[in-house]
A and B are shown apart, each in its own frame.
Chain A
């Protein structure tokens, strides 16, 4: 995981040159953006500029694709990703209040990362755990029956139990 930027850029360029001359090479843009996100953790403006030059696709188009799909993150992600399920079941059980409590605690909005770089906040559609609604997923762990009161404790506990370098 700890490659330097130059190595990552080189790997991205190699990937682009392996796809761009294929039939409909432009249609590999999404795959290239996935590759970029895997390498860098997010898709930065500099990376999109690089892709534009390498693939000969205007940045306005790349920006359109990168902002269309929620999967792509346009800013660096925190150590932990918090996804609050806003699916129907969770919503009627008060997911909006849970989300608000987390926003207030971390002082960030959706898609943003807390100042200390620990948490990134996301909305999610149904996570398939409606029986536990409302549900919050932190990284790949599901927490059920979350309330606006215990949400913050769950965040703290999770980061304590799962320290990442």
Chain B
């Protein structure tokens, strides 16, 4: 097979790689054909037809996303006829769309809106029946609005192909086709993991997060309560994108300052409680290794992963670390340790978490995570919701003077920072476990084997004479694959990290919508966000969780020992099988 073949696009010849589609070939030589249902990480659907091109010798236009190139192919991408046909296609989609752009969540960031502009749709030629379905607001995390759905199927494919949840499908047919869970079940009662990736890939606002910004604004206006925020690592690595800054800028101090300007009395750092998680988790791992406890131990920080595990892998519950997530540990510390410190009644504290995640909204409401009968986190808002609040309050995040997080729950090590990227929890845990186990300093703190965007990463760390075999998976589909392996081969690993979203928390379901010239889940974007965290780690003086002086202090003043009585009460939890049961096609049964 020749290395390159010749194709002609708009009367000009190009040499391109064979075995690709017209769209891929056109992309590679500087054309960007319009597209809606296509996504490079998902299977080809060929549903929307907006990517049609003309091929010499073909009677009809062909969908460039699905049609393979051949040597000598002559393609036209921009004839009058094509332009008219594409415009008609987009107009027909628009005709069955609410057209309430100015009040829509995705206004200014909607692929359909951009496409209508690019197609030059100035007037409306069609007027027909519109769909009218109820909006499903049952879930704590995800809102499904079928009226805004254009049936591109990206959500269906990401939910099955990338996340292996298989919660969504096309139901009914023709004009009555709707994307919905089985039996049109309310989202809250489905296998949905709340990961929010359907929101990330949706070109319109058919999926959005459950919005809690009004609850938070209301709480902020109260004089009789103490308002406390915590911020996840990945939020600072991405929030700038919502304000027009290039990806990969770490706005740690700016975010803290903006939240204080919003009216929070204290702004704490979830990276502090990430350090706390690591100290508990590393101790738990060593305890399991020394006492012959259940191995491999699997991390429990990711809220989407936890619900997924309870529905798809309940047989592995004993393998799951009992540590609460950093968000919930922080919630518990705010309502106990910190409430004591400021002599406030914890009932008069409103604790708000700003997270890159939609699943944490579900986690925040879990009854088993209650602290003395109260929620540790009263409201959870996503990066996007936080951006909107900051914009809405007229705060200039870009030019603001940065501020530090508040004591005593605001100082963090580099290990806490990298929690936001896939492999980060593993790396942080190894740094602490190594030193606890061997009593020696770890020679090189960078654990390169667990970094990067490979779906499943494996490695081994020598802790003295003991070899610890580890594996890391990001995205629930990769997690499912890894855990099927664990079912077959339980002794293969000692320690496994799972993050529910592709790329880890930096690719979370609550992160900013991608801007122009970028697609959701774009690896370069995920890499840049992760890099913002790894850079912060590199520049930190303290890079190990157990060396964080405020962590030492909280154990001394309040918690006692890692895995001690108080830790167990406030920082640990247990999981149980959850229904409906999940099915992984081709995989073993639960």
| A→B interface (CB under 8 Å) | 26, 45, 48-49, 52-53, 56-64, 67-68
Question: Could you tell me the distance in whole angstroms from the C-beta of B264 to the nearest C-beta in chain A?
Answer: 40
Q: What residues of B have a CB within 8 angstroms of the CB of A60 in the complex?
A: 166-169, 181-182
Which one of B523-531, B556-564, B580-588 is at the A interface? B580-588
Question: Could you tell me the distance in whole angstroms from the C-beta of A58 to the nearest C-beta in chain B?
Answer: 3
Contacting pair A58 B160 (CB below 8 A): yes
Residues B214-262 near A (CB distance < 8 A): none
Q: What residues of B have a CB within 8 angstroms of the CB of A62 in the complex?
A: 182
B173 at the interface (CB under 8 A from A): yes
Q: 4 tightest A-B contacts by CB?
A: A58-B166, A59-B182, A60-B169, A64-B169
Contacting pair B169 A45 (CB below 8 A): no
Residue-wise interface mask of B (572-590) relative to A, using a CB-CB cutoff of 8 A (1 in contact, 0 not) = 0000000011111111010
Q: What residues of B have a CB within 8 angstroms of the CB of A56 in the complex?
A: 583-587, 589
B388 at the interface (CB under 8 A from A): no
Known A-B contacts A26-B585, A67-B171; the reply to A59 vs B183 at CB < 8 A is yes
The residue that B585 contacts in the complex, of A57, A63, A67, with Cβ under 8 A, is A57
Q: What residues of A have a CB within 8 angstroms of the CB of B587 in the complex?
A: 56
The residue that B173 contacts in the complex, of A48, A52, A68, with Cβ under 8 A, is A68
Q: What residues of B have a CB within 8 angstroms of the CB of A64 in the complex?
A: 169-171
Contacting pair B172 A68 (CB below 8 A): yes
Residues B414-449 near A (CB distance < 8 A): none
Q: What residues of B have a CB within 8 angstroms of the CB of A53 in the complex?
A: 581, 583, 589
Overall SS of chain B's interface: loop
Q: What residues of B have a CB within 8 angstroms of the CB of A67 in the complex?
A: 171-173
**Docked CA distance A61–B584 (Å):** 12
Known A-B contacts A26-B585, A56-B587, A56-B589; the reply to A61 vs B166 at CB < 8 A is yes
**Docked CA distance A59–B168 (Å):** 9
**Docked CA distance A52–B587 (Å):** 13
Question: Could you tell me the distance in whole angstroms from the C-beta of A157 to the nearest C-beta in chain B?
Answer: 34
Question: Could you tell me the distance in whole angstroms from the C-beta of A21 to the nearest C-beta in chain B?
Answer: 13
**Docked CA distance A48–B583 (Å):** 13
Contacting pair B583 A63 (CB below 8 A): no
**Docked CA distance A154–B420 (Å):** 70
**Docked CA distance A48–B171 (Å):** 14
Known A-B contacts A60-B166, A61-B169; the reply to A48 vs B585 at CB < 8 A is no
The residue that A45 contacts in the complex, of B168, B171, B183, B589, with Cβ under 8 A, is B183
Question: Could you tell me the distance in whole angstroms from the C-beta of B166 to the nearest C-beta in chain A?
Answer: 3
Q: What residues of A have a CB within 8 angstroms of the CB of B170 in the complex?
A: 64, 68
Known A-B contacts A26-B585, A52-B583; the reply to A58 vs B182 at CB < 8 A is yes
Residues B284-307 near A (CB distance < 8 A): none
Q: What residues of A have a CB within 8 angstroms of the CB of B183 in the complex?
A: 45, 48, 59, 63
Q: What residues of B have a CB within 8 angstroms of the CB of A52 in the complex?
A: 583
Contacting pair A59 B583 (CB below 8 A): yes
**Docked CA distance A26–B586 (Å):** 9
**Docked CA distance A62–B181 (Å):** 11
Q: What residues of A have a CB within 8 angstroms of the CB of B171 in the complex?
A: 63-64, 67-68
Q: What residues of B have a CB within 8 angstroms of the CB of A49 in the complex?
A: 580
Q: What residues of B have a CB within 8 angstroms of the CB of A48 in the complex?
A: 182-183
**Docked CA distance A56–B312 (Å):** 12
Q: What residues of B have a CB within 8 angstroms of the CB of A68 in the complex?
A: 170-173
Q: What residues of B have a CB within 8 angstroms of the CB of A59 in the complex?
A: 182-183, 580, 583
22 contacting pairs across A/B (C-beta < 8 A) = A45-B183, A48-B182, A49-B580, A53-B583, A53-B589, A56-B583, A57-B583, A58-B167, A58-B182, A58-B583, A58-B585, A60-B166, A60-B168, A60-B169, A61-B585, A62-B182, A63-B169, A63-B171, A63-B182, A63-B183, A63-B184, A68-B171
**Docked CA distance A53–B584 (Å):** 10
Q: What residues of A have a CB within 8 angstroms of the CB of B585 in the complex?
A: 26, 56-58, 61
CB closest chain-B residue, reference A49 = B580
Residue-wise interface mask of B (165-203) relative to A, using a CB-CB cutoff of 8 A (1 in contact, 0 not) = 011111111000000111110000000000000000000
Question: Could you tell me the distance in whole angstroms from the C-beta of B174 to the nearest C-beta in chain A?
Answer: 10
Q: What residues of A have a CB within 8 angstroms of the CB of B181 in the complex?
A: 60, 63
Question: Could you tell me the distance in whole angstroms from the C-beta of B544 to the nearest C-beta in chain A?
Answer: 43
Question: Could you tell me the distance in whole angstroms from the C-beta of A43 to the nearest C-beta in chain B?
Answer: 11
**Docked CA distance A49–B191 (Å):** 13
**Docked CA distance A63–B172 (Å):** 9
**Docked CA distance A48–B581 (Å):** 13
**Docked CA distance A59–B180 (Å):** 11
**Docked CA distance A59–B579 (Å):** 13
Q: What residues of A have a CB within 8 angstroms of the CB of B160 in the complex?
A: 58
Question: Could you tell me the distance in whole angstroms from the C-beta of A120 to the nearest C-beta in chain B?
Answer: 18
Question: Could you tell me the distance in whole angstroms from the C-beta of B477 to the nearest C-beta in chain A?
Answer: 13
Question: Could you tell me the distance in whole angstroms from the C-beta of B482 to the nearest C-beta in chain A?
Answer: 19
Question: Could you tell me the distance in whole angstroms from the C-beta of B189 to the nearest C-beta in chain A?
Answer: 12
CB closest chain-B residue, reference A26 = B585
**Docked CA distance A67–B172 (Å):** 5
Residues B320-357 near A (CB distance < 8 A): none
